[in-house]
Chains A and B, each alone.
Chain A
Amino acid sequence: MKAFEYAAPTTVDAALKLLGGPNAAALAGGTDLLGRAKDYVTSPDRVVYVKEIKELGGITGDAKSGMTLGAATPLSEIVHHSGIREAYPALWQATSEIGSIQIRNMSTVGGNLLQRPRCWYFRAGFGLLGMKDGQSLVRAGDNRYHAIFQTDGDALFVSPSSLAVALIALDASAKVRGPKGERTVKVEELYRVPRREGESELTVEPGELLTHVMIPAAGKNGAYEARQKQAQDWPLVMSAVNLTMQGDTISKARVVIYGVAPIPWRSEAAERVLVGKKFSPEVAAEAGTAAVEAARPLSMNAYKVPMTRTVVKRALIRAVQGKGYWEEG
């Protein structure tokens, strides 16, 4: 880790001033930033500790009018929030499966959303696109954990935030403050596919601070993830869904998938299948199938295709029916 200076402001205004310098980084839980710094993937000259800024903390609102999460809210607070558990099971399920108790105590909503990809080529110092001598290391190498969508491009890593997937399914927005003032964007707009090395996959600019996440009232929502370990591990793929129902009929659907693309992957194909239909496990399966139609896996991750089909189907069933056909007992 390179040496840096450190400040712990108590207000957002002060934090923004401190973040205004070149190569400054906001530090919240530290679980991502400090790992990157130790690996010399990110070497900030100044670290601004924002986790304890009071205006960035807390969960407010209710299921009817929607809820607001302060960006510095630890993930453990979401897990312990019964209102969230009831209104936004997709968010609750996604959050309670993140990392471990230690990780959830440390990590924050903002930090999770703005964490950098776990791609092992990126973390080894080969850049976000993992290129060496003009060749994609990812394409030629071990891409078992990489993308299956938009793989004709250069960005083959997968977006690392499962929280983002749940929040996008819930149609959440984010408040971002910076030197130019405050802006509100959809959570999905926090992410983009970088077109060249050096371009970030995040749209939050240096010097800006994500301050709040606003979640509107939700329909029937849920999440499902597949992973290798039961203990602390990353999802291999995961899906969060949110269905607005009119009677038995699905009037609006949001289906978002983790682990398949450099951005949280909104599956409009799956959503199209769902809208206007009465929910049934068969319809859920159809949506899962539609979700992977455009998948073009890399050399080592074709397994993600059936897995993705499954997690979409199961997230839908879980959202509407609670318990699923795959659960024992």
Chain B
Amino acid sequence: MLMDDDRISTGQAMALVINAILGVSLTILPRDVAKTAGPDCWILVILGGVFAFIAALIIAAVITRFNGKTFTEYTSFVLGRPAGFLAGALYAFYFVLVCAVVLRNFAEVMKNFVLETTPREFVIITLLLLSFYLIRHGLEPMVRFMVINFPIWFITAIVALILTLNKVDFSELLPSFRTPPDKILFGSVSAAISMAGFEVLMVAGQGLKTTRHVYKIAAVSIGIVTAFYIYLVVIVVSMLGVDETRRLLWPTFAVLRSITVPGGVLERIEAPIIIVWVIMVFTTLSAYYFSATITFANLFKAKEFKIFAPLLFPWIYFLSMMPQNVLELENWLKFAGNLAVVFGLIIPFILLIAGSVKARWGKSK
């Protein structure tokens, strides 16, 4: 369980959510949306943002309703003991799965772009160990870490994308509004999935200093992420073209390959920028790793959540080594994305409805 002083402010919670969202999904998002909607891909991102915002609002409503209670406490309260326990366990396994997928995807990118000869196991274990080192300090230090690193990767990401501007051809985004609405609606769900990450607040919400501003957290963090994604998708697609974006495995990093730094100090900067991206992956991983740990600790009503971190360590590692190749990893990613809809939208929605029904029922009685 969290200690009393281990609480985060509203701004810190925003940083936590943004850091949890931005990570691996930004590497494949341009491909996903370009595949579905072609030049209209940016519409998908906007709609996806709207969907993600609705989901975040539902989660925020749940957190506000069960102010200060742990996840297990309020699910048990709403759904009953066994169902609550089951929900908690499912969430914990979901978080572990996300950790594994994030790590594996990260390892594949590293193998492809930065460290061709280094084994994946090394990359995965080192990052996981560091994440373990971070989360054992608790929620507040973890978020403090995220706040400190926030400007570094944010500025790097913006600068990297600005450097691409001279190669951008916005006519690639034309013609607009040619995609049929059903396709747009369907595609925007998959765009919304890439904004998964708000659900960490369902378990980390117990560490909030005040739940008064949860809606603000939802609005600001989803807003920032959506803006960032629109920017990213527009730049990537208009630089590579729709067809090229569809075909590439990691279009975001393919863009970086063609960047040159003015002044000729460095010839290729994809390696340093991917290295900065490691920070983003690391924060995503830590947010989910922490969420998994704290959920398990709540489930077993443990006084000290730290002991669960080393217990989860081998599971995350083995799960991340399960996919045989990149294609299989893609399926895992899709699976995790579908789970995100369940855990980020459907279950919170059930909790909200059941909670309010129960409250009304309790009042009338």
A and B physically associate = no
B residues adjacent to A (C-beta < 8 A): none
